[in-house]
Amino acid sequence: MDRTRPDLYDSNIMHAPGAKAPTIRSYALFGEAGDLPDVLHCETIAARSVLHDWELARHRHHRLHQLLWLQQGQGTAWLEAGPAPLGSHTLVNVPTGEVHAFAFSPGTQGWVVSLPDELVDAQLAAIPEARSLVSRASAQTVDEASAATLGTLLAALTEAFVAPMHPARALVLRGLGTAVLGLAAQALGVAQAEAVDLAGSRLLRRFESLLERHFASAWRVSDYAAALAVTPTHLSRVARVATGLPISRLVDARRMREARRHLAYTTASVTAVGEALGFEDPAHFSRVFARTCGCSPREFRARVSQPATVGEAAAPTTAAA
């Protein structure tokens, strides 16, 4: 597996972040159309940035959660909420779908870890508090102790990622990737506690806990609001402030994440998957899936069922990271 080629694992477009772009490019997993070429991806900031004047232009990922750890150096992250200055020991959390861009000072050191949605979901499904912490884009300075641990873990993850293939490689990558994700959630929790509205944050955590228990029960927004003893309007307002999305979209997103997992890892029919998630009408399930995921359930299953050979997928026409 040649990880030195710039056309492999591309997931960013390189232009000046401040320059006007005709569109915001969208990428699925590691820049490829629908394949799952590896358990995760890990590389240094410099590995790709140095090839493009240390700038990664605005783009989004539909099936990737990214964590950027700036060990030493400076830069700027452009998130949907606005620009954020980056310095040493800064952790940038980029959830799936978040439009983002970066510019670094030459010589900046650190890592970028790209985790498939399915891996993140599997690890955080039973931990709504941690899910909440990594569901919002942010750039946070991390304390010295957490910074040292993150640096050690990421160095080990990079070493494991580039190591020769062996039977336990996927297990090692998942374990280290999960450890990095967990430590990132912990660090973000400490940093975000001072910046969020505590009442709204508690309400959102309670909603997320309910969502994990009832996403397959066809609950409506009014059902969640009633269970939380608030009005649907207030619940939606809190969700929009925290995530930028209405409650209905958060519910759909959680149900469709579960649908993707069933389609990718079970042989259940599309109709059966929809029924398991509370959709009585298969056509309605297919419409919601297509709106959320960008393709039909059958198309998604066909994509993930195809054996992935790294390097066979057509590379983007513009270099990316």
User: What pLDDT score was predicted for residue 115?
Assistant: 93
DSSP 8-state secondary structure symbol assigned to residue 215? G
- pTM over cut 0.75: no
Q: Are 25-192 and 198-305 in the same CATH fold?
A: no
User: What pLDDT score was predicted for residue 195?
Assistant: 53
Q: pLDDT 10s digit of each residue in the chain, 321 long?
A: 333 333 333 444 334 455 444 455 554 434 333 445 688 999 999 998 988 899 988 888 888 999 999 999 999 999 988 999 999 999 999 998 899 999 999 999 999 999 998 888 888 887 887 888 888 899 999 888 889 999 999 999 999 999 888 889 989 999 999 999 998 888 887 766 555 555 677 888 899 999 999 998 889 999 999 999 999 998 998 888 888 888 999 999 999 999 999 999 999 999 999 999 999 999 999 999 999 888 999 999 998 877 544 333 333 333 344
User: What pLDDT score was predicted for residue 245?
Assistant: 85
Instruction: Locate the domains of the chain by residue range.
Output: 25-192, 198-305
Q: Note the helical H segments in the chain.
A: 45-49, 117-124, 128-134, 144-162, 169-192, 198-214, 221-228, 232-243, 247-265, 270-276, 282-293, 297-305
CATH superfamily, domain 25-192, is Regulatory protein AraC (2.60.120.280)
User: What pLDDT score was predicted for residue 277?
Assistant: 93
User: What pLDDT score was predicted for residue 256?
Assistant: 93
Cα separation, 81 vs 99, in Å, equals 10
User: What pLDDT score was predicted for residue 48?
Assistant: 84
Domain at 198-305: CATH code: 1.10.10.60
What is the amino acid identity at position 210?
A: L
Locate 3 and state its tokens. Answer: 């990880």
Asked whether the beta carbons of 257 and 212 are under 8 A apart, the reply is no
Locate 281 and state its tokens. Answer: 């009408």
Q: How far is CA 199 from CA 134, 205, 211, in A?
A: 19, 10, 18
User: What pLDDT score was predicted for residue 127?
Assistant: 83
